[in-house]
Amino acid sequence: MVPKTHERVPKHTAAQINAELRRDMDRRLRFYAANPEMIDKRLGELDREWDIERMLEANAATVAFAGVVLGATVNKRFLALPALVGAFLLQHAVQGWCPPLPILRRMGYRTMREIDTERFALKALRGDFGKNDSRFKSDKGRADHALRAARL
């Protein structure tokens, strides 16, 4: 069975990498819960962050283009590069995995859903969806609550 689009990449990422990416986001949210004046800056950074799909596409296009240029100018065997890249992209589209994926995930590239989860949690911390809940006595409690709401 083909996994849902938002599940493809995390499903094919090592559990420890997924956990590390979640811990990093949890740490950031606790920081911004304690420093709400910096949330706008972080939201701007998230708007500029490249998700893993964009990075894969950019890398594939670069390798494919290089293969065509090298095939036309150096040796026709380099034309195998665009064919290989095309096969990898098809594999990624269907399964959510391709050879560069584990490397990019270890480098910290996240899915758009993971980026959006942080974005919505930050907006919740900022109070965009209503008054902040006063039940939470600590910044960690507020951050955890915002993150749980964003992951729904």
Walk along the chain (152 residues) and give the pLDDT tens digit of each residue.
Answer: 667 777 889 999 999 999 999 999 999 999 999 999 999 999 999 999 999 999 999 999 999 999 999 999 999 999 999 999 999 999 998 888 899 999 999 999 999 999 999 999 999 999 888 766 566 668 888 888 888 888 86
Both 95 and 62 in one domain: the answer is yes
Same domain, 34 and 74: no
The answer to whether the beta carbons of residues 32 and 39 sit under 8 Å apart is yes
* Four-point Cα dihedral 66, 99, 47, 2, nearest 10: 120
Same domain, 123 and 78: no
pTM of the prediction?
A: 0.87
Contact (CB, 8 A) for 71 and 78:
yes
Q: What is the pLDDT of residue 48?
A: 98
74 and 119 fall within a common domain = no
2 and 40: one domain?
A: yes
pLDDT at 138: 80
Same domain, 67 and 105: yes
Q: Which of 109, 125, 144 is the last residue of a domain?
A: 109
Same domain for 66 and 25: no
Co-location of 54 and 42 in the same domain: no
Residues 71 and 40 grouped into a single domain: no
Residues 134/125, Cβ–Cβ less than 8 Å:
no
The number of beta carbons lying within 10 Å of the beta carbon of residue 25 is 19
Q: Helix, strand, or coil here: 137?
A: coil
Please count the helices (runs of H) and the strands (runs of E) in the chain.
8, 0
Structural domains in the chain (count): 2
Structure tokens at 93: 């589209």
- Give the pLDDT score at 131: 66
Domain of residue 79: give its range: 50-109
Residues 95 and 114 in one domain: no
Please tell me whether residue 100 adopts helix, strand or coil conformation: coil
Can you give the pLDDT at residue 132? 61
